């Protein structure tokens, strides 16, 4: 008898197989074990406009003028931003820009220095 993995949602050990899917009877979560094995990890890589991977603490340069929502300020092309933090969501870079303050940026508008 094969050993089935615990449920990724609630960690229940009572998961059972139904065709290609694994099902948790406690939380009703369904998942495909083969897709989970292919993915390896849930971490998605965040890359800059040139395809280079970004990491926490990197220095980046803005490649497009970006209007700051709710104000008349603009982040100009060539602005260097030091010590970035990567986050989940639509805007995946959290940083502080001199003269503007704390901001969230999209990785598609920056390049790694």
Q: What value, to the nearest 5°, has the Cα angle with vertex 14 and ends 11 and 15? A: 80
Question: Residue 94: what pLDDT?
Answer: 96
What is the torsion angle, in degrees rounded to the nearest 10, for the CA atoms of residue 8, residue 10, residue 14 and residue 16?
A: -40
Handedness of CA 64, 68, 71, 75 (dihedral sign): negative
Predicted structure pTM score? 0.61
Tell me what pLDDT residue 40 has. Answer: 52
- Output the pLDDT for position 35: 63
* Digit-coded pLDDT (tens) for 19-36: 888 999 998 888 887 765
80-112 pLDDT, tens digit per residue, is 999 999 998 889 999 999 999 999 999 999 999
Encode burial over 74-88: b for 16+ CB neighbours within 10 A, e otherwise: ebeeebebeebeeee
């Amino acid at each position: 008898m094969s050993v089935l993995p615990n449920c990724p949602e609630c960690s229940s050990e009572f998961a059972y197989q139904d065709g290609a899917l694994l099902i948790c009877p406690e939380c009703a979560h369904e998942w495909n074990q083969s897709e989970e094995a292919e993915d390896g990890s849930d971490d998605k890589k965040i890359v800059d406009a040139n395809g280079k991977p970004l990491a926490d603490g990197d220095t980046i340069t803005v490649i497009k003028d970006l209007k700051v929502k709710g104000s008349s300020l603009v982040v100009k092309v060539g602005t260097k931003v030091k010590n970035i933090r990567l986050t989940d969501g639509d805007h995946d870079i959290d940083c502080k820009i001199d003269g503007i303050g704390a901001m969230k940026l999209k990785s598609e508008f920056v390049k790694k220095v």
